[in-house]
Chain A
Amino acid sequence: MSGNAKLSVGGRILNRVSGGNLLLLLLRRWDARVALAILTLLALSGIAPGLFVGPLQTATTAEAAPLLPPSGAHLFGTDDLGRDLLNLTVHGARISLVVGALSAVITLLLGGGIGMIAGYRGGRTDALLMRIADTFLILPTFVLALILAPILRELIGDQTEILGIRTTLLTIVAVIGVTSWSSTARIVRSQTLSLRERTFVERARLVGLSPMRIIARHIFPNIRTVLVANGIVVIAGSILTESTLSFIGLGDPFQPSWGTILGNAQSAAAPSLGAWWFIMAPGGAILFTVIACTIVGNAIDELLDRDVRVRR
């Protein structure tokens, strides 16, 4: 526990099991190490794709012949327009990263906030919030996204940008966020319910700490790791949803995502032409990213379990 942040007493909330601690624990597991390496590579690709593969190739800048199989010059082969698939796949990481991260943020803010309030307040507040959560829980994410994506695109317009992110992308993020917060809320609520009965929360109430402060001081720090684990699973889910939407043509047409490339492969009849690499590149990227997220999420869950076992 020596690596903990020092604190000024009575000042800000500082927590013992900090993010750095969790990362160190994760790095002791080989499966989590591999998964974190994949996610780091994804993050780097998303932040600076040009560093690895140069600028994004378009139909006009593509130089190679169409549908070349993987070779030394084109590790992942080329698509039907002669674009390098490695180039497209690396550039596609940004979309997945943005969608995954933003969806997770929305889901955790909504689900975490509502879950903690419902669990701590209890009674009618809890009943009402959980009925709302149940309503969203039964909505099929994908079908809702399918309906909302074109509607929102029509309303806002294709080209509008908010903070440099095209609204079509935000639509996908919003839809994923709206449909996935409820399961997070349920998990957080159940954790909060058990924390609320702990003596240290009772004691905080006794000395007159307000409910909001109790949530900030005692509830949130004790469920933070659960939130992180849940957030990573949400990231995996949103990347899959985004890929599917893009695959059927509801994604952002101006920025290739892995789903868009898969869609292109489909319309170029890559499967029947035997151009397996056209599918392998984006498909493999999706596969490895989702598996990596799931491994990290599960590893955190297991660490939490062990933590609980040690303490009991």
Chain B
Amino acid sequence: MSDQRRISAASGAPLLRVRGVSVTYGVQRSIADILARRPGGAIVALDDVDLDVDAGEIVAVVGESGSGKTTLARVITGLIKAESGVVEVEGEGPNDWRSVGMVFQDPYETLDPKRTLGEFVAEGLEAQGLPMDRIDASLEAAELRPASAYRDRVPEELSGGQRQRAVIAGALALNPKLVIADEPVSMLDVSMRAQILALIERLRREQGIAWLFITHDLSLAWAISDRVVVLYLGAVLEEGTAEQVLRNPSHPYTRALLAALPSTDPRAAGTHSLAAGEIPQGAAPSGCRFRNRCAHAVEACASARPPLEAAPSGAAGHRVACFRAAELPAAASVARHAPGGATPSGGA
């Protein structure tokens, strides 16, 4: 799985480089707030996020809802602007749309009900002044074969999986080096998921397309990705290869996420403390943002934000943001929860 990554990593600068990106959403004040001169609140969606994706690499961004995954996708594609930080694709700002494609979560919403697949794919080509003869090739690359059978159809006539293929075809038409996929299979049947994952894997293999795969589902991350980035309340808590993060998790949050996966072994139930409560709404806690749900939190966790540092595993590229990572018991016992082998993708 990591062969491609080694080859691409050798070429130097990453394809996608995100450095120190922060995004804050203002909260609308009510009239009562304005009259009482209460200041408007703000929700930090992303806080000083760093992320690299190499050419031909599949990176999974995992986290619960509210972790900032979708905001990250929207910043990288340029749909929203970051307040601070840098987003570069091949060293250029996010205006070079062609090299970044986007696959949205809901294929039913991404396709205009009034327009055919051909028109959908043509849209990007037209906006970028590319030749229209790429339409058929893009549809076929997304495994909608023969293209002539799909070109003139409207979304209503297609299944969810076919729609998502069409959305992928729309991204492929612009010859992207990187495609951001925001929960691309969460709306699909399980049987369709495997096919879409296989398609993503094949496009990486044959066309060298890198994918930033955003998901809340750790088993999907395991199935598809070379590297995994764990996002919580807009900050990266742990990153490393899929093997490092999911087989040997260092952050209590990653462990909690893995422990929350349903186990095939009934005796394993209850042996791990789940993270208490839900992801906090509104302002993140001071210091480590996970501390109020963490079983291992100490006073130091409240005073400063732990930096993303080399994990106790010592493996290259495995980094974790936790003061107590080294003190925590070895995570070997967690490994049995990693959904290895039981995944539908042929790529893992």
Contact = CB atoms under 8 A, between A and B. Distances in A.
A1 interface: yes
A207 B127 contact: yes
Given A1-B156, A200-B110, A208-B97, A9 B135 contact: yes
B88 interface: no
A3 interface: no
Nearest to B105: A199
Contact of A10 (B78, B126, B152, B156): B126
Contacts of A6: 152
A217 interface: yes
B13 to A, nearest CB: 24
Interface string B69-91: 00000000111000000000000
B114 interface: yes
A221 interface: yes
Nearest to A18: B114
Contacts, number: 84
B97 A203 contact: no
Question: Which of A208, A218, A221 is the most central at the interface, judged by chain B CB atoms within 10 Å of its CB?
Answer: A208
Interface in A172-224: 198-200, 202-210, 213, 217-218, 221-222
Contacts of B156: 1
B113 interface: yes
B170 interface: yes
Q: How large is the interface on A (under 10, 10 to 19, 20 to 34, 35 or more residues)?
A: 20 to 34
Q: Which of B77, B119, B151 has the most CB of A within 10 A?
A: B119
Interface string A1-21: 100101101100001110000
A208 B156 CA distance: 25
Contact of B78 (A16, A206, A209, A213): A206
A16 B125 CA distance: 21
A220 B121 CA distance: 19
Given A1-B157, A9-B151, A10-B125, A221 B114 contact: yes
Contact of A207 (B112, B128, B152): B128
A311 interface: yes
Nearest to B102: A206
B102 A10 contact: no
Given A9-B132, A16-B114, A209 B109 contact: no
A301 to B, nearest CB: 19
A9 B148 CA distance: 11
A10 B109 CA distance: 21
B229 to A, nearest CB: 22
A1 B114 CA distance: 11
Interface string B89-123: 00000000100001010100111111110110111
Residue of B106, B109, B115, B125 with most partner-chain A CB within 10 A? B115
Given A207-B127, A311-B113, 14 more contacts: A7-B116, A9-B132, A10-B122, A16-B114, A16-B154, A199-B110, A200-B109, A202-B104, A204-B123, A206-B102, A207-B128, A210-B127, A217-B123, A218-B112
Interchain residue pairs A-B with the least CB separation, the first 9: A9-B118, A207-B124, A10-B122, A199-B109, A208-B127, A10-B132, A200-B112, A221-B114, A209-B127
28 contacts: A4-B154, A7-B118, A7-B152, A9-B116, A9-B118, A9-B119, A9-B132, A9-B135, A10-B125, A16-B114, A16-B154, A199-B110, A200-B110, A200-B111, A203-B102, A203-B110, A203-B170, A204-B127, A206-B97, A206-B102, A208-B124, A208-B127, A209-B126, A210-B127, A217-B115, A218-B112, A221-B115, A222-B113
